[in-house]
Homo-oligomer: A and B are copies of this chain.
Amino acid sequence: MGATEKLARFVIETPSEKISDEAIERATAGLMDAVGTALVANTNEIGRIITEFTEEVGGTPVSRVIGTNIKTSSPNAALANGTLGHADDYDDVGGFGHPAVILMPTVLALGEQLGKTGREILDAYVLGFDVGARLAQGIGGDHYERGWHSTVTLGTLASAAAASRLMGLTVDQTRHALGIAASHAAGMQANFGTMTKPLHPGNGARSGITAATLASKGYTANQNIIEAPLGYVAVFGDKQANINAMTHQLGDAQWQIVNPGFKIKEWPCCYGNHGAVPMLIDLVHKYEIQPEQVESVEFIGGMGASGFLNRPDTDTYFGGKFSLQFNIAAAVVDGAMSYDTFTDEKVNSPEIRDMMSRVILKDDIMTKDLPARIHSQHRDQTVVINMKDGRSVSDSIETATNTLVGHEIDVKFEANASKVLPSEKVERALSLLKDLKNVKDISEVLDAVTV
């Protein structure tokens, strides 16, 4: 049996009872966090354009767009909700990139259209996560190194898997849905730092729902798309591809959403900054460092000087989310970071620009000349603040692990939701989302997160 059939069987035939409480709890947290990031995105330019576009193209009103009064077709709602969810790069990270903004829009839009329960959409979420994370392991790190944005190139199939589960497709139809989805998988890193990055997961979720819907009507594709000659792995994989890894211990291994799991971001910027920022904030407070005392700030390792976060000249809040120079400068100057750190004004303020010019990015000397496949596994990060008086203070970590837990996740949701919803809706949404597994009809949740 090929990988495509194995994954399709797993998605369709796994009984709900087999999905652990811990997996359901993690899916609940990831989904809720992404609904919050989608809500707050209605306050920014990306949110304005994507909702205006969604309203303009219209669609049969069966699924709602978060934070708005728009009701449209499920593919269009998924496009909008995925784009909103990722608009600030504030959503979670792990598995196959940014899993929640692919899976949340898929299961919410289709769940509302089909009148599904909270538990049904969480099951689909967990299974879709597993498919995406397994594809990520099997496709190899050189997939990302070629320039693909894995969130969507892998996530489009994860969305199709989740949609197939929710629609109750047969195994055969699910294989067709995965085949259709594979021909929609697209999105490149060269668009990072522009509004097109958040469009990627929106487009992936739209494509996954479209693929499952067409398959449900008898539309066909290559039923072995993952392993086929010139198929998904052949086209998207390079030297590191390993098809067997995609189905290793399928159904017996721990749920991917639990282990390796995902991290919930504390700040609305690329996770590549989430190592340097907390270290710098700690140093600034510990040594009571004032901006005017700083001669230079060095950052060594991570994706450092040779990665896409080397953006010394960015002049927009959105580019700032992908600039190590800006994130480092903001952490040192403000000794703090929040949603409001990312504004055009802040990015262009004289104090920040002055500090950005003092930031020095260095690649890790241990690994910089090694092949990318080794380099990319090595995540050591070091920050050094060099003072004008000759002192230096520094900190290091082996890999960034910053994540919100427990009550912090609720606080983040409330802060995001409060920027768009009245307080009674915020509390209603929070209580429904935290107890999503017991919600009888997902449309109750949409009532609470729309205006």
Q: Flag A43-61 by CB within 8 Å of B: 1 or 0 each.
A: 0011001101100111110
Known: A225-B190, A230-B147. A217 touches B49 (CB 8 A): yes
Give Cα A193 to B229, complex, Å: 14
* A291 proximal to B (CB < 8 A): no
Give Cα A214 to B244, complex, Å: 40
Give Cα A380 to B320, complex, Å: 55
Q: Flag A194-222 by CB within 8 Å of B: 1 or 0 each.
A: 11100110010000001001100111111
Give Cα A193 to B186, complex, Å: 22
Known: A45-B218, A58-B60. A187 touches B191 (CB 8 A): no
Smallest beta-carbon distance A79→chain B, Å: 9
Smallest beta-carbon distance A428→chain B, Å: 30
Q: Chain B residues near A75: list those with CB within 8 A.
A: 57
Smallest beta-carbon distance A3→chain B, Å: 13
Q: Chain B residues near A219: list those with CB within 8 A.
A: 46, 49-50, 195-196, 199
Whether the Cβ atoms of A232 and B190 lie closer than 8 Å is yes
Known: A57-B60, A58-B58, A234-B147. A49 touches B218 (CB 8 A): yes
Smallest beta-carbon distance A60→chain B, Å: 4
- CB interface residues, A 74-95, toward B, < 8 Å: 74-76
Q: A183 touches which one: B45, B50, B58, B200 (CB < 8 A)?
A: B200
* A451 proximal to B (CB < 8 A): no
Q: Chain B residues near A37: list those with CB within 8 A.
A: none
Copies of this protein in the assembly total: 2
Give Cα A399 to B179, complex, Å: 33
Whether the Cβ atoms of B217 and A196 lie closer than 8 Å is no
Give Cα A304 to B50, complex, Å: 47
Q: Flag A63-76 by CB within 8 Å of B: 1 or 0 each.
A: 00000000001111
Whether the Cβ atoms of B182 and A183 lie closer than 8 Å is no
Give Cα A219 to B83, complex, Å: 12
Whether the Cβ atoms of A196 and B218 lie closer than 8 Å is no
Q: Flag A308-342 by CB within 8 Å of B: 1 or 0 each.
A: 10000000001000000000000000000000000
Whether the Cβ atoms of B183 and A146 lie closer than 8 Å is no
* A437 proximal to B (CB < 8 A): no
Q: Chain B residues near A179: list those with CB within 8 A.
A: 190-191, 194, 196
Give Cα A235 to B190, complex, Å: 9
Whether the Cβ atoms of A188 and B147 lie closer than 8 Å is no
Whether the Cβ atoms of A191 and B146 lie closer than 8 Å is no
* A189 proximal to B (CB < 8 A): yes
Q: Chain B residues near A149: list those with CB within 8 A.
A: 183
Give Cα A60 to B186, complex, Å: 26
Whether the Cβ atoms of A52 and B196 lie closer than 8 Å is no
Give Cα A57 to B49, complex, Å: 21
Q: Chain B residues near A221: list those with CB within 8 A.
A: 191, 194-196
Whether the Cβ atoms of B182 and A185 lie closer than 8 Å is no
Give Cα A193 to B309, complex, Å: 42
- CB interface residues, A 408-431, toward B, < 8 Å: none
- Identify the closest chain B residue to A217 (Cβ): B49
Give Cα A74 to B75, complex, Å: 15
Q: Chain B residues near A235: list those with CB within 8 A.
A: 146-148, 188, 190
Give Cα A52 to B189, complex, Å: 35
- CB interface residues, A 229-251, toward B, < 8 Å: 229-232, 234-235
Q: Chain B residues near A45: list those with CB within 8 A.
A: 218
Q: Chain B residues near A60: list those with CB within 8 A.
A: 56-58
Q: Chain B residues near A189: list those with CB within 8 A.
A: 230
Whether the Cβ atoms of A53 and B214 lie closer than 8 Å is yes
* A114 proximal to B (CB < 8 A): no
* A134 proximal to B (CB < 8 A): no
Give Cα A364 to B60, complex, Å: 54
* A294 proximal to B (CB < 8 A): no
Known: A53-B214, A73-B58, A179-B191. A222 touches B196 (CB 8 A): yes
* A180 proximal to B (CB < 8 A): yes
Known: A49-B219, A59-B59, A188-B231. A183 touches B195 (CB 8 A): no
* A265 proximal to B (CB < 8 A): no
* A400 proximal to B (CB < 8 A): no
5 residue pairs of the A-B complex, CB under 8 angstroms, read A49-B217, A59-B73, A179-B194, A180-B191, A191-B221
